[in-house]
């Protein structure tokens, strides 16, 4: 006897509910299913939601890394402008100290100190450019990894969407 026939022929309408929930482990929504048709496959909504979130997160990572690269470049440019300004001031001061060496100890001391500061600022400029280059190389490596994750997630999502569309 089918489940539907048992329900329709039951003397007590609640008897079949108890039997269904105790013996079959059916859920509440299954109690009102009156045919023996197989249950439809569960929807892939959680999987689709997961793949969508993976794609969205990977896309967000890509955008954040691109923004970080741009920000790092802008920061370097601002710092270089400041160093260049200091270098130009030091070079101008050095030109103003164009006296013969050895005539005035104070002028010689100031000239030597200014030349050392000028060399330090130029070294700092080179180091800044090197650190920026290293940072950008590391960020680009992360960007390539994030792009790969994005493409993989997008491909999986597209495969799932094609699979659920029946094609």
**Chain segment 133-155, per-residue pLDDT in tens:** 999 999 999 999 999 999 998 88
**Average pLDDT score over residue span 28-40:** 50
Same domain membership, residue 58 and residue 10: no
Same domain membership, residue 25 and residue 54: no
The residue ranking higher by pLDDT, 19 or 111, is 111
Quote the pLDDT of residue 106: 80
149 located within any domain = yes
38 located within any domain = no
Report how many domains make up the chain: 2
| Alpha-carbon span 26 to 161, nearest angstrom | 30
97 located within any domain = yes
**Average pLDDT score over residue span 69-89:** 93
Asked whether the predicted pLDDT for residue 39 surpasses 80, the reply is no
Both structure tokens of 5: 């026939």
37 located within any domain = no
40 located within any domain = no
Same domain membership, residue 151 and residue 120: yes
**Average pLDDT score over residue span 42-46:** 61
Same domain membership, residue 74 and residue 15: no
| Alpha-carbon span 30 to 123, nearest angstrom | 76
Contacts of 30 (CB under 8 A, 6+ apart): 20, 24, 39
Quote the pLDDT of residue 98: 72
Same domain membership, residue 63 and residue 13: no
Structure confidence at residue 8 as a pLDDT band (50, 70, 90):
low
**CATH code for the domain of 124:** 1.10.287
**Mean of the per-residue pLDDT values for the chain?**
77
Q: Which domain holds residue 95?
A: 45-164
Q: Is the separation of the CB atoms in 125 and 81 below 8 Å?
A: no
Same domain membership, residue 157 and residue 81: yes
Same domain membership, residue 79 and residue 150: yes
């Amino acid at each position: 006897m089918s489940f539907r026939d048992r329900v329709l022929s039951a003397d007590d309408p609640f008897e079949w509910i108890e039997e269904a929930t105790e013996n079959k482990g059916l859920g509440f929504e299954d109690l009102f299913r009156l045919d023996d048709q197989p249950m439809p496959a569960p929807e892939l909504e959680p999987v689709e939601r997961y793949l969508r979130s993976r794609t969205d997160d990977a896309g967000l990572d890509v955008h954040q890394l691109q923004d970080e690269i741009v920000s790092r470049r802008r920061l370097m440019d601002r710092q270089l402008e400041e160093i260049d300004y200091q270098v130009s001031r030091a070079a101008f001061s050095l030109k103003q100290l164009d006296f013969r060496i050895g005539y005035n100890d104070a002028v010689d001391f100031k000239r030597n100190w200014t030349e050392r500061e000028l060399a330090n600022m130029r070294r700092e400029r080179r180091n800044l450019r090197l650190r920026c280059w290293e940072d950008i190389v590391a960020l680009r490596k992360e960007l390539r990894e994030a792009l790969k994750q994005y493409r993989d997630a997008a491909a999986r999502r597209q495969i799932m969407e094609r699979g659920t569309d029946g094609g």
